[in-house]
Structure 1
Amino acid sequence: MNPKLRTHLLFLWAIVLVPILAWAQPPRGPLVVSPQVNADKSVTFRYLAPQAKAVELSAQFEKAPVAMTKDAQGVWSVTVGPVKPDIYPYSFRVNGITVMDPANVAFFPNERFKASLVDVPGDTPLIHAMRDVPHGSINYEYYPSMEGTTGSLVVYTPPGYDTNPKQKYPVYYLISGTTDTEETFFKVGKTNLILDNLIAEGKAKPMIIVMPYGNIAARIAEQKAGAKPADPTGRDNAEAVKRANDFATDLVSNVIPYVEKSYRAMPGRDNRAIGGFSRGGGQTLRTAFSHMDKFAWVCAYSSYLSPEEMERSYPSIASNPANTNKQLKLLWVSVGSDDFLYKGTVEFMDYLKAKQVNFKSLITDGGHTWMNVKTYVAATTPLLFQSQTPRP
């Protein structure tokens, strides 16, 4: 082909293609930075929505939604605070519809709506902050579970795990609440960073933490092309108890064997702890009390069992308190004073006290929040395995 003709044809193609490529690109609006944590601990939130009629901020540190204002570019914004340093979920309400913050990659893992997260740092680093200390690792694992399904785990291994292949470690099985996933203790609870910091300070024993998904029924339905079943309407009705027992079976029969085969986990009840938040706390208590041969350390965060269920399903716990106290190296119960489970949790504590079952407790301010959960994790993990010395 004539070189001049080839050049001419390429030029014509460029004229044709440039408008097509330009049309194919999504329109670009102004750069939106959100959230923006300011030096005075106030936080600015922004959301691009030129056609919206109303946008509000809904945040866990605010008692009610906060109206946002729109600028000439169609960016809605509001500055609130100062905000007490911590990690908080938030979202926007756009024309009455709740949405995540598209400018923010940090989100709250959940079976339903996934809120965005804002981290307001303290002037002194908080216990969950990223610090200049040795860090452990986070691993995603899949194991053979109930009814032929595949279960999922998030596993934390402590600093030094990969460099000292002869060292074995105790294991803390840590369970999230209703609608949470196996990622929530990691991404919202920052359990890995809490342990990194406590271990670096010499306050906690190096341990493996296993975070399973607590909704066995939902996973079975999903993997067998069924509809996700609704959550039980009560916390201690027959359906709730059945699902908790299914979880216990999966944990004891499938998760623990998988972990002890795949990781350098110390076997035996003295080297296993179990804990959980909300529904995960109920699963914790039911699993532990029905498998006293498996766990010596038990932590219930914002959760309880009713005296009626204790008498009906776990009578030996209270009928022989001396034996229970000998078996359990730690029974921990904690709750916030504004938690909707406060009354039931305090009733559970009173029951244990009346039956002379030893336990440690912590009642904090605040409600049923992951801010409190981080406090409970930081308070309990230094107590775990203190009589145990990891061995080669």
Structure 2
Amino acid sequence: MHYKHIISYVLNRFRLLLWGLVCLSGIVLAQPPRGPLVVSPQVNADKTVTFRYLAPAAKEVRLSAQFEKAPVPMTKGDQGIWSVTVGPVKPDIYPYSFQVDGVTVMDPANVAFFPNERFKASLVDVPGDTPLVHAMRNVPHGSVNYEYYPALEGTTGSLLVYTPPGYDQNPTKKYPVFYLISGTTDTEETFFKVGRTNLILDNLIAEGKTKPMIIIMPYGNIAARVVEQKGGTKPADPTVRDGADAVKRANDFATDLVSHVIPYVEKSYRTLNNRDNRAIGGFSRGGGQTLRTAFGNMDKFAWVCSYSSYLSPTEMDKSFPQIGSNADNTNKQLKLLWVSVGSDDFLYKGTVEFMDYLKARKVSYKSLITDGGHTWMNVKKYVAETTPLLFQ
């Protein structure tokens, strides 16, 4: 009996070992093949950039980048790696993607990406010889938190919150708040991951140029959130910027911000809860949401920043006649009304028309017209220019 127990024990151990080897081989086989190491993008010392993409079976691969006027053909090399070197490129952060046999794809070798509902691009950061305002520097840094709040129509809203350096170290200090809204198809992450707003603020605060503040970055597509959380399909974007559908969605956003976001933020963070310590700003659609929310809630915001956006004279006269008809009161209420746009922006004409409307009615505003188009390169400039003006 003694030898039988020994043999049984050995056989059982052998079976367990064999089963373990079978399971391990299954795990190994389940892993995708790694293939050759691909380094992309590679920013070179002379500001040229090399892009690479592994596609052994592809017939054509092209680079599509915001700093190029047209897609650039790539060359197939060893092990099926396509590559191209372009530039030198002006230092900044740019979205790019690859067109592989007509299909647009992100760069799988790059972890930095552009958060967006409609397209998915990768990001390349070309540093300046002198660090740019959005660059990571050796300064005190704030924090970025992801938050969820009870929102419009019983949904759950999402937003990002930037708290400045020292927020956690001084539990009695309260801060002003800047509500910052991304554009059409952008998400609540875009001002963070593409606009690098947290790093811009860290750097400006360290230089003593900007007052420490909390920045709230909400999701702007309220219609999509409501429908999706109730089991529907995300609706298409409005086709007319100041049409009835666009205005209703902007009004829904304003209701959500004023009735849900602001109360949640002021309950959850140490904020200064009055209009003099609230600012609102936004890019593109977010700029339109900014203007409609601010002009419809003048008791809530004293600082208003419109980046690459506008309201038409028709909508101003119909929905916000008090802004132009009583300019003295408007100028007393608003400590800052900022309007900025790029000279090549497709919204340039409408934005200039909006500025002319304000000027004709003697509504005070500050403006900045830059080179370039409807890009996040410009948005970073506008944030860097306006945040030093807030809460002063």
Give TM class, smaller chain: over 0.9
Distance 1:358 1:11, change over 3 A: closer
Q: 2:351 maps to what in 1?
A: 345
Unpaired runs of at least 5, structure 1: 387-392
Give the distance between the partners of 2:226 and 2:305, measured in 1 at CA.
27
Letter aligned with residue 161 of structure 1: Y
Kindly state the Cα deviation for residue 26 of structure 1 after the two structures are TM-superposed.
2.3
Report Cα offsets for 1:305-324 as digits up to 9, x if no partner.
01111111101100010110
Q: 1:390 maps to what in 2?
A: none
Q: 1:86 maps to what in 2?
A: 92
In the superposition, the TM-score normalised over structure 1's length comes to 0.95
Q: 2:322 maps to what in 1?
A: 316
Which of residues 281, 306, 330 in structure 1 aligns to 2:287?
281
Q: CA RMSD in A?
A: 1.7
Identity over aligned pairs, percent:
82
1:163 matched to 2:184? The reply is no
1:253 matched to 2:265? The reply is no
Distance 1:23 1:352, change over 3 A: same
Kindly state the Cα deviation for residue 24 of structure 1 after the two structures are TM-superposed.
3.3
Report Cα offsets for 1:102-134 as digits up to 9, x if no partner.
111110111122110001110100000000000
Report Cα offsets for 1:309-342 as digits up to 9, x if no partner.
1111101100010110110000000000000000
Distance 1:383 1:19, change over 3 A: closer
Kindly state the Cα deviation for residue 151 of structure 1 after the two structures are TM-superposed.
0.4
1:305 matched to 2:311? The reply is yes
Kindly state the Cα deviation for residue 23 of structure 1 after the two structures are TM-superposed.
3.6
Distance 1:344 1:6, change over 3 A: same
Q: Counterpart of 2:250 in 1: which secondary structure?
A: helix
Q: 1:172 maps to what in 2?
A: 178
Give the distance between the partners of 2:127 and 2:246, measured in 1 at CA.
38
Equivalences for residues 72-151 of structure 1 within 5 A: 72-151=78-157
Letter aligned with residue 390 of structure 2: L
Kindly state the Cα deviation for residue 357 of structure 1 after the two structures are TM-superposed.
0.4
Letter aligned with residue 278 of structure 2: R
Which of residues 181, 191, 198 in structure 2 aligns to 1:185?
191
Distance 1:220 1:15, change over 3 A: closer
Letter aligned with residue 297 of structure 1: W
Distance 1:293 1:7, change over 3 A: closer
1:212 matched to 2:223? The reply is no
Letter aligned with residue 31 of structure 1: L
Give the distance between the partners of 1:215 and 1:9, measured in 2 at CA.
57
1:243 matched to 2:254? The reply is no
Letter aligned with residue 175 of structure 2: Y
Q: Counterpart of 2:391 in 1: which secondary structure?
A: coil
Which of residues 26, 40, 49 in structure 2 aligns to 1:43?
49
Q: 1:264 maps to what in 2?
A: 270
Unpaired runs of at least 5, structure 2: 1-5
Q: 2:3 maps to what in 1?
A: none
Letter aligned with residue 148 of structure 1: G
Letter aligned with residue 200 of structure 2: I
Kindly state the Cα deviation for residue 17 of structure 1 after the two structures are TM-superposed.
6.9
Give the distance between the partners of 2:156 and 2:13, measured in 1 at CA.
59
Report Cα offsets for 1:209-230 as digits up to 9, x if no partner.
0000001000001100101111
Kindly state the Cα deviation for residue 271 of structure 1 after the two structures are TM-superposed.
0.4
Which of residues 58, 63, 70 in structure 2 aligns to 1:57?
63
Paired residues, number: 386
Letter aligned with residue 357 of structure 2: Y
1:225 matched to 2:238? The reply is no
Distance 1:11 1:218, change over 3 A: closer
Which of residues 32, 35, 41 in structure 2 aligns to 1:29?
35
Letter aligned with residue 89 of structure 2: V
